Structure 1
Amino acid sequence: MTLNVKGINHVKRRKIVSSLKKDRVQIALLQETHLTDSEHLKLKRDWVGQIYFSSFNSKSRGVAILIHKNLPFTLNAIVRDTDGRFILITGLLYGEQILLGSVYAPNTFDRSFYSNFLAKTSSVCPSHVIIGGDFNCGLNPETDYNPPKCQPPSKMAKATMDVCSDLGLFDAWRVCNPHVKDFTFYSRPHFSFSRIDYVFVSRSALERTRGCLINTCTLSDHSSVSIEFLPPYYDPLSRHWRLNPALLSDPEFVKYLEDQWELFLSTNDLPGVSASTLWEAGKAFLRGSIISFTSAKKKSNLAKQLVLERDITNLEREFKKSSSVSVLKKLDAVRSALDQLLTQKAETGSYAIPSLKDK
């Protein structure tokens, strides 16, 4: 989860740590901590097993990364910005190299910040990258602001997109929510909403992303952004999600997939978006759509199964009392329906949630 905390004092420190624990956060990327080095260390409490930070002073900037004590992360290197704008760490997570970063970009264009951030990040960048933070700009003036802005992207937005392009990073929330309009910050002076907080991930990390959400704004004037990220596995044969081919014989599924693809293209096939970026984002979107479809089907079929089992129990009880032929016919019909449902599941595995360990 990434969150601009807008300053931390003694009471707020406990509230933040408690809230992150409640939400079962394992990696927290914080911005605008407004803490000194010694005060940052006080965040290492309760569930927090490791903390990495870059301080500026007690009134501005400051970023931190909190890691759960049960998460098997082994540190390799730390890259700190002396101005308290970003902190990058690399290490082993479940046996694979990963880079985690927390970023607080300037609220006015500063070319040196972006060049410095790009240089520092590219020098330690592995294949798995998760960078979250407040980048102080909406990437798309039409969709990331309300009221929308009828103007080209700002210099900060262009610089942010250039950095992401150079590092091969994707906007996880937009990929997971291509047709949703939501925001992370409300400006009271301007009476406007904007989406300026992001989680940027590499292609390999995107393949392991199960979802990305903008959460309710509670502890700050920013909403947090959370990402559900599947950890890597040691068995290389179990790392890739596979489509259940039985789904392709279901007309309902095929129609659903066609509609989702048309929706994705209508939202994302825009000038300036390269074909490779569109394809990679499209694959991630379709995977999420398929998982959503199969999950809904599984829940629906499970509900049907429970109803049929309940009906069988009631009819059996009634038949034992009455020995009625009509009740027996009803019982046979319900048993047959349940048998067909279970047979379909056993033979094809249709509508089961795709697993990383399938095949």
Structure 2
Amino acid sequence: APAPAIDRKSGALGARLTASPQDALLARFIHDTQLLDIWRLHHPGDHDFSFYSHPHSSYSRIDLFLLPTRTIPLTTRSAIGSISWSDHAPVSIWVKLPGTRSGWSWRLNSSILQSAAVLEEVSAHLDRYFEENDLDDIGPDSLWLAHKAVMRGHLIQIGSRLKRERMSLLVELQERLADREAAHKSSHSQADFDALTTVRRELRSALLTDVARSLAWTRRTFYEYSNKAHTMLARKLRNQTRSKLVTSARTPQVRSLLSPAR
């Protein structure tokens, strides 16, 4: 930890928070490289932790972002999240890069079609569209092409609604998790730890849908592009070309040759 006196907290009564040899090595490294602990810079008076040790029943802040001084103006804020998936909490920083804009392109989230309610809603939209627009003065080509844009708008609306509902649930669970964590950090009681474990279990269950969607997207990507002339194959071939590149040679007199002209 950067400062054991304020970056560690033990649940044992009378425990002394002394600096370990690893703490001294970290302090020397930070001093020699002239790096700054960005979270401590943004939160000089706060006490928060990123790691919980079950055997020692202690909290510590050992997950850090160490940045050079020239990048400090680009970092707008930093935060320590809640310990949910493992015994470490995520540490986040927000960086504002000048002159950059992120692009956006829509792709169908096929996982929403696994819901029977969503399928029923999409089918109802399709039936209503063709009932209202299949007229004599509208050609079949125009009818078909227009239905793609209409259904895309409905799918975006459904996806946005489901995302808002999922994010609302995650925010609620994160707030409950933060409250339970703060209570356990203060008391170190078994009751608070059991309540904290329950909220963590609920949060993991809610996050499994995102994990399943990522796995399905990865499997589909490999299935579609693994054996085609695409970006995935180009990256694989580029790495193989680099590994076979001859950069130097040696003569019988053990003299290195770096230029092909020689």
Q: Does TM-score exceed 0.5, indicating one fold? A: no
Q: TM-score, normalised by structure 2?
A: 0.38
Flag the structure with higher strand content: 1
Flag the structure with higher helix content: 2
Larger Rg: 2
